[in-house]
Amino acid sequence: MTDTAAVRPGEELPLERLSAWFGEPLSVEQFPGGHSNLTYLLRAPSGEYVLRRAPLGPVPPKAHDMAREFGVLTAIHPLFAPAPAALRLCEDPSVIGATFYIMERRRGRIFHDPAAAPEPQRMSEMFVDCLASLHAVDVRRVPIGKPEGFLERQVGGWSERWLRAETPDRPDAAHVMEYLRSSIPVSQAASVVHNDYKLDNVMWAGNLDRVAAVLDWEMTTVGDPLADLGLTLCYWTIGSAYDAPRGRGWFSREELIARYAEKTGFDVGRIGWYETLGVFKLAVILQQIYVRWVRGQTRDERFRDFGARVTMLVERAAELSAR
């Protein structure tokens, strides 16, 4: 089996220009997973590489910043082995029409369906331990973001993104945004925050004895590590794909929180607030994708039903905020 596929119609790369820039003849396939940035496999005489670029069409301000993601990986790779090495950045739009970067290709197994994973207990442990290891990286060596006011910026920024991504069927999230704004916790520590740490952004070595790579560093910054845990819990417990871990050998929500607390020493007493923030962020991310489909800025039919998903997530965030 392969993790790549033919490039989707309308998302092709101009191979002649790209090969000239790269300095070698290239062939290309696409990694079909994911709903945000476009990711391609490049094959060249010298080896295989991964190309990342923003999605087609207009994108929200400051989103899908490939130059920033390149800088994040450049800083974090020497300090955190699962972060792939970023190799080359191109900010010349004449090459493929957008900023992009090239990174090393890591090989391993990604489980989009948790039920297919053969060792869920051990993988649960490694999954949490990997996040704890990322949060132990010395942030003084990572020149991205600033921890002061991190949670306030998170609440304000994601609220603004929500308001900008209007569609006629958008649910009302005013109560959720007010709850988040009015009850911001005091951060205990500063760490590297991946901001999208979930099971299918983790690549496992073939024998499942270690994490081979952590992927999708687009939103990485420095701030409160519990923001990562809160979003991870959302992915772990919400939606049909993430119902699978529960009761099948995967950690429960409570076990995941307990192991994280044990490994980091952080106080997780207010994890419910961070979980609410995580659900709301996920709702905003999907709404930003959905609005592009509504406006005809993407033809990808996978996004047609995202409005219903957004409504479910906003309702879930409202439930969490009422606890």
Structure confidence at residue 240 (pLDDT): 40
Look at residue 4 and tell me if it is in a domain. no
Structure confidence at residue 220 (pLDDT): 94
- The CATH number given to whatever domain includes residue 276 is 3.90.1200.10
221 in the same domain as 140: yes
Structure confidence at residue 106 (pLDDT): 95
206 in the same domain as 143: yes
Look at residue 139 and tell me if it is in a domain. yes
DSSP, collapsed to helix, strand or coil, labels residue 103 as strand
Distance (Å, whole) CA 220 – CA 200: 17
Q: Which two tokens stand for residue 213?
A: 């790579």
Distance (Å, whole) CA 267 – CA 261: 7
Structure confidence at residue 32 (pLDDT): 83
79 in the same domain as 58: yes
Structure confidence at residue 183 (pLDDT): 97
- The range of the structural domain enclosing residue 83 comes to 15-104
244 in the same domain as 121: yes
Structure confidence at residue 241 (pLDDT): 41
Q: Which two tokens stand for residue 205?
A: 């070595």
134 in the same domain as 61: no
Distance (Å, whole) CA 314 – CA 303: 17
The residue to which tokens 């899908």 are assigned: 64
| Angstrom distances, CA of residue 260 to CA of 103, 144, 270 | 30, 24, 14
Structural domain count of the chain: 2
Q: Which amino acid is at 244?
A: A
Look at residue 2 and tell me if it is in a domain. no
155 in the same domain as 228: yes
275 in the same domain as 226: yes
Please report, in tens digits, the pLDDT of each residue of the chain (323 residues total).
458 889 988 899 999 999 999 999 999 999 987 657 899 999 999 999 999 998 876 565 555 689 999 999 999 999 999 999 999 999 999 999 999 999 999 999 999 888 889 999 999 999 999 999 999 999 989 988 889 999 999 999 999 999 999 899 889 999 999 999 999 999 989 999 999 999 989 999 989 999 999 999 998 999 999 999 999 999 998 754 444 455 578 999 999 999 999 999 999 999 999 999 999 999 999 999 899 888 888 777 888 889 999 999 999 999 999 88
